[in-house]
């Protein structure tokens, strides 16, 4: 009979209510209310996770820029190899075509360098050409990534049935 029910008074006592349901509503517990609940925990979780989400998004953008830079370097190398390997192409045609393409693409690749290498595979004259394009890609916060792409093409030659 030590417990009093809400709405009834114990004989000889003031209105002290000890029922747990009523205590939660009316009386202050031993711990402050802000420490017992989970109110505001989503704000703290977002404050911790938001920078992680931002970094993941920016990392995805950086990876996309790297792959875009690689694609542009490969396209320039392929255009240069095709121009250099064309029948009757003048010397330096591959270098000219690759640099013209990179100039049209703008700032996708910076500090680019084009290397044209004729290859003589067991013959006295060059039978193929290799064009390598290197440079650094765009980046955020000053980050740069070095890319290098190579294209290979056999040199076009006029042949007859007697040459085979």
Q: Is 4 among the domain residues?
A: no
CB 84 within 8 A of CB 129: yes
Instruction: Give me the phi and psi of 77, to 5 degrees please.
Output: -65, -40
pLDDT at 95: 94
Count structural domains, the chain. Answer: 1
The pLDDT tens digits for 124-152 are 888 899 999 999 998 877 788 999 999 99
Model confidence pLDDT, tens digit, residues 81-100: 999 999 988 889 999 999 99
Any idea what the CATH number is for the domain that residue 118 is in? 3.30.1300
Q: What is the pLDDT of residues 17-64, one digit of tens each?
A: 555 555 555 555 565 555 556 666 788 888 899 999 999 999 998 999
Identify the CA nearest to 108 among candidates 78, 137, 147, 132. Answer: 137
Its domain, for residue 69, covers 50-163
Angle between helices 93-105 and 41-85 (to 10 degrees): 150
Q: How many CB atoms lie within 10 A of CB 97?
A: 22
pLDDT at 79: 96
């Amino acid at each position: 009979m030590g417990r009093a029910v809400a709405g009834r008074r114990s004989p000889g006592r003031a209105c002290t209510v000890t029922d747990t349901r009523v205590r939660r509503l009316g009386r202050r517990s031993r711990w402050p209310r802000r420490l017992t609940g989970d109110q505001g925990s989503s704000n703290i979780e977002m404050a911790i996770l938001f920078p992680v989400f931002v970094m993941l998004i920016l990392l995805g953008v950086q990876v996309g820029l790297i792959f875009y830079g690689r694609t542009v370097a490969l396209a320039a190398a392929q255009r240069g190899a095709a121009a250099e390997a064309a029948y009757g192409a003048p010397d330096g045609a591959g270098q000219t075509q690759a640099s013209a393409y990179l100039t049209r693409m703008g700032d996708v690749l910076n500090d680019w360098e084009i290397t044209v290498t004729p290859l003589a595979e067991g013959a006295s004259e060059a039978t193929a050409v290799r064009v390598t394009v290197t440079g650094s890609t765009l980046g955020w916060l000053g980050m740069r990534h070095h890319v290098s792409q190579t294209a290979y093409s056999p040199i076009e030659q006029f042949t007859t049935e007697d040459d085979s």
